[in-house]
A and B are shown apart, each in its own frame.
Chain A
Amino acid sequence: MSAAADTAAPKSVAAFLKVSPDGAHYLAGSKCGKCGEVVVGTRDVCGKCGARKEMAHIKLANTGKLYNFTVVHRNFPGVPVPFISAIVDLDGGGTLKGNLLDVEPDPAKIKFDMPVKVVFRDAGRKDKEGNSYLAYFFVPANKA
Chain B
Amino acid sequence: MSDVYVVGTDMIKFGRFPERTVPSLGAEVALMALDDCGLTMQDVQALYCGNLGEAGSGVGQRILQLIGQTGIPVVNCANACATGATAFREGYVAVKANMYDVVLCVGVEQMGRGLLGGGGAAGVETEGLIGSATMPAVFAHVGMEHARKYGTTFEQFAKVSVKNHHHSTFNPKAMYQIETPLEVVMSSEMISYPNTKLMCSVNVDGAAAAIIASESAAKRLGLMKRAVRIRASALTSDPYSPRNLVMPDFNGATQLAAKTAYEQAGLGPHDVQLVELHDCFATAEIVHYENLGLCGAGEGGRLIDEGATTLGGRIPVNMSGGLLSKGHPIGATGIANLYEVTTQLRGEAGKRQVEGARIGLTHVVGMGSSCAVHLLEKV
Using a CB–CB cutoff of 8 Å, the interface residues on chain A facing chain B are: 11, 13-14, 37, 39-41, 47-48, 67-76, 78-81, 83, 85-87, 89, 95-99, 107, 112, 123-127, 131, 133, 135-136
Contact = CB atoms under 8 A, between A and B. Distances in A.
Contacts of A107: 193-194
A72 B134 contact: yes
Interface residues of B, number: 35
A39 B191 CA distance: 30
Contact of B245 (A13, A39, A67, A69): A39
A72 B193 CA distance: 7
B141 A85 contact: yes
Contacts of A79: 125, 127-128
B245 A95 contact: yes
B128 A13 contact: no
B128 A83 contact: yes
Given A81-B128, A98-B130, A112-B148, A74 B123 contact: no
14 contacts: A11-B123, A13-B129, A13-B130, A14-B126, A68-B145, A70-B140, A70-B141, A70-B144, A71-B193, A72-B192, A74-B115, A79-B127, A79-B128, A95-B245
B254 to A, nearest CB: 18
Interface of B: 115, 118-119, 123-132, 134, 136-137, 140-141, 144-145, 148, 189-194, 197, 240, 242-247
A123 B129 CA distance: 7
A107 to B, nearest CB: 5
B246 A73 contact: no
B155 to A, nearest CB: 13
A123 B136 CA distance: 23
Contacts of B247: 68, 87, 95, 97
Nearest to B144: A68
A11 B121 CA distance: 15
Contacts of B246: 40, 87, 95-97
B129 A72 contact: no
A80 B128 CA distance: 7
A14 to B, nearest CB: 7
Contacts of A98: 130-131
